[in-house]
Amino acid sequence: MHCLTRRSRSATIWSAVAGVACSLLLSGAAHAVTTSEFVLSGLVNNPGTFNIDGSNGLRSLQALPSVTQTDNYTAAGTPTTTTFTGVPLYTLLTDPLGGGGIVVTPGVKNDFLGDAIVETGSDGYRSVVSEGEIDPGFGAKPDLVAYQNAPGVPLGSDGFARTTAPGDLAGGRYVSNVASISLFSGSAASQIQGTGGGLSSSFALAGQVNNPGSFDLAALAALPQTSVTVAGGTYSGVSLWTFLQSAGIITNPLVKNDILGKYLVATGSDGYKAVISLGEISPSFGNQQDLIATGLNGGGLGTNGFARLVIPGDIKAGRYVSNLIGLEVLPAPVPVPASVWLFGSGLVALVGIARRKIQSKSV
């Protein structure tokens, strides 16, 4: 019960302050500063504040296991090659010197695949990475929390820490001047619930799209078709990105790369949920060819229902959501490390009020 309570409390606190925080960011109340520390928070067993060397009573980022990688991407349209040294993001979350592991809800299958990480810079710029994208058992993408451009060369104006997104075409998910890294339950915000299992015949599209609705096999067949080949064979169906684009993803033009602050929750008829970040599938960034499959090897999907979400490249099939009944496009919560980048005593007070209300309700 402790883990479940902690997960639900986190979601409620973020919801209580998200509107105020967004207003501050859009009005220019938060300014970019060169960072010397960041807060790790959310659904990890050992949250805390990190700097480069553990001075001033903080925790040392460079004390964690590190790797060096060379990434190729475009920055402002210019091809860029950069070498980074840092801590793998998954290691930061799970190593005893880092987050010490992910908090999960007992009895919920692959609960962690419903989680995502929101990385926030000191200017409020943020990007979402799904847990499944970096989990070694699934997407296994080696994102870093980098602290050097090469061994012995600090990041300079990019702050003491910068996240990387190796394999992305453009550098939008390379967040400079990291002020906050927070693991949250993306599935907790989902409004679509399982129907008790069984074969699905349609799914609902909801959330931040212009044209929500219900889609059955005929509706999907009317959209452009494609296929992907994975270990289980060749799946045919509709590109997930194409499908979402046809529905019209709602974005805020005042927020830079607002698409990178959103994620998708897929729900099966049995209530099983998995999260995909939109940056993961955007052709401008991760360009992952996820598929809403309606056929396999020239036939139907059988017991997997009329539609199945397929994630090519995942080592295990935990994000292959069968008997699909729901897709929801949702915004990442605004993290609340008030001492780092959300300035102003009024917002800090609001966070305290939200926490006290939650605590009083749980007594």
- Please write down the HEC assignment for all residues of 167-193: CCCEHHHCCCCEEEEEEEECHHHCCCC
Show Cβ contacts of residue 86 under 8 Å, excluding neighbours closer than 6 positions.
Answer: 61, 66, 67, 144, 145, 146, 147, 148, 161, 162, 164
- pLDDT for 335 equals 66
Give CA–CA dist 277/266, Å, rounded: 11
Q: Which residue's entry shows tokens 């044209």? A: 211
In angstroms, the CA 223 to CA 200 distance is 19
**CATH no. for 192-331:** 3.90.420.10
In this prediction, residue 151 carries a pLDDT of: 77
Where do the structural domains in the chain lie, given as residue ranges? 2-188+334-362, 192-331
User: Quick check: 119 and 126 in contact, CB under 8 A?
Assistant: yes
* Beta carbons within 10 angstroms of residue 107's beta carbon: 7
Which residue do the tokens 């992305």 mark? 168
What is the pLDDT, as a whole number, of residue 31? 62
Q: Is-same-fold flag (2-188+334-362; 192-331)? A: yes
Low-confidence ranges of the chain (pLDDT < 50): 1-6, 8-29, 337-363
**Segment 115-135, tens digit of pLDDT:** 999 999 999 999 999 999 999
Question: Contact at 8 Å (CB) between 85 and 67?
Answer: yes
d(CA 17, CA 31): 19
pLDDT of amino acid 72: 96
- What pLDDT was estimated at residue 336? 54
Please name the fold of domain 2-188+334-362: Sulfite Oxidase; Chain A, domain 2 (3.90.420)
Q: Backbone dihedral region of 52: left (phi > 0), alpha (psi from -120 to 50 degrees) or beta? A: alpha
